[in-house]
Amino acid sequence: MPMPENVEGTTPKYLRDKYAIVGVGETDYRRGSTLSTRAMATRAIGNAMRDAGLKASEIDGMLSYQFNDSTFTPLVAGDLGIRLNFYMDVFGGGSSIEALIGIAIGVIEAGMCKTVVIFRSMNGFSQVRIGGTGARAVAPVAGDMLHSRAYGWQSAGQSFAPSFMRHMYDYGTTAEQVAAVRVAHSHHASNNPKAFYKKRVTVEEVIGSRMICKPLHLLDCCVETDNANAIIVTSSERARDLRHVPVKIRGVVGRCCKPRSDMHYQTGPISTVAGHYAKEILWPNSGVQPEDIDVTGSYDAFTFTTMLQLEDYGFCKKGEGGHYVSDGTIKLGGRRPNNTSGGHLCEGYTHGIAMVIENVRQLRHDADDSCPIGPDGRRQHTHDYGEGGCRQVKDAELSANLGWASPGTGSALVMRRG
């Protein structure tokens, strides 16, 4: 969609489009990386620097996020010969990347540095798994966890499941509707050579897969992989000299919460998630509306998280998320494809950053699918979305990323083609 004109927002207007994402990079999605998180981070950042056409001396800020399962920024910067004017490592997962992009804008705007690289590096399969298995399963249960983990209620899926179940009860959402998220993302992944799971699946295969914790079947849950991702943020003015069409940042929301977000089940209705609040910041600050968006990246730790967020950010009416995700809208070729890389359900798992990278490539009109490379060195996208084909959304101008930590906390980002 073309940009609407004369839009009003609450953000200072001079910040809209003033900053851009100029470089993205990642390592392969593997189970068994045979690399340290430090080594993966340096490779992902190196790829992002080459993608942008930036040297180490041209980067002076670094941000990362982690769960005591990664490497701190000074070590990674040191390995790459990057001298930092600013760095920070924050604790957190799926609601981090959009928030950190906002923080990067803030620190550049404050004059603390000029160009910031943000990374997430995790051996999420071979070292520290998110679900609470391994070392995390035997850690002492103390504090607030006495009211959750002691009841065998600890993994993300277990923790969120009552919210998902209540949505089915409140609105009549069906397992088949929500399974369509996995189906769509698996189709997208089949056109993504990087994806860990490239096989297309059906609704029947999703609801026929073994039950993990109701209403989540195995295929309602995302994949665990070893991977690092990196994104470089700088001013749009600086971006003009770099390799790609800049992808400009319209608006951000960072870790917007429901009341009592730490115990998200305490504040009702529990079938409403943080996007309900975040949308009041995201759309005015971006100066666009959901109907303007061409491609979404709604966090898919689970099929349900994609559905709940698209609904609460206003892509459909409250309660109609099940219909929205199953009527073809979110598939490639549909009105507004979601997670065109295959997302966390299929491509791999790195706490949301890869979904921003995918939308950067979409807005560059440079999705790295299997389409042929033309004489100008650019991919000749066919827009044939058959298996093994194209995954570039035609004429993509605006994207939205909807990050998720839990039903109680979310972050979001709107980007435009510069």
Return residues touching another protein (CB under 8 A).
131-133, 137-138, 140-144, 146-155, 158, 161-163, 165-166, 168-169, 174-175, 207, 210-215, 259-260, 263, 265-270
| Shortest spacing between CB 222 and another protein, in angstroms | 15
Rounded Cα distance between 24 and 415, Å, is 14
Residue with tokens 């914790």: 213
Residue of 87, 197, 349, 385 marked catalytic: 349
| Shortest spacing between CB 95 and another protein, in angstroms | 21
Active site residue 151: no
Active site residue 349: yes
Backbone torsion region of residue 134, taken as left when φ is above 0, otherwise alpha when ψ lies between -120 and 50, otherwise beta: left
CA 313 from centroid of its chain's CA atoms = 15
Whichever of 67 and 265 has its CB closer to another protein, that residue is 265
Structure tokens at 168: 């089915």
Whichever of 151 and 237 has its CB closer to another protein, that residue is 151
Strand order in the sheet with 398-406: 86-91, 61-66, 116-123, 226-235, 19-26, 247-257, 409-417, 398-406, 295-298
Residue of 299, 313, 324, 385 marked catalytic: 299
Whichever of 259 and 388 has its CB closer to another protein, that residue is 259
Structure tokens at 373: 């490379």
Residue pair 395/292 in contact (Cβ under 8 Å)? The answer is no
| Shortest spacing between CB 391 and another protein, in angstroms | 31
User: What is the secondary structure of 316-331 as a DSSP string?
Assistant: S-TT-HHHHTTSSTTS
Rounded Cα distance between 26 and 47, Å, is 7
Whichever of 2 and 140 has its CB closer to another protein, that residue is 140
| Shortest spacing between CB 265 and another protein, in angstroms | 5
Q: Which residues form the catalytic set?
A: 299, 349
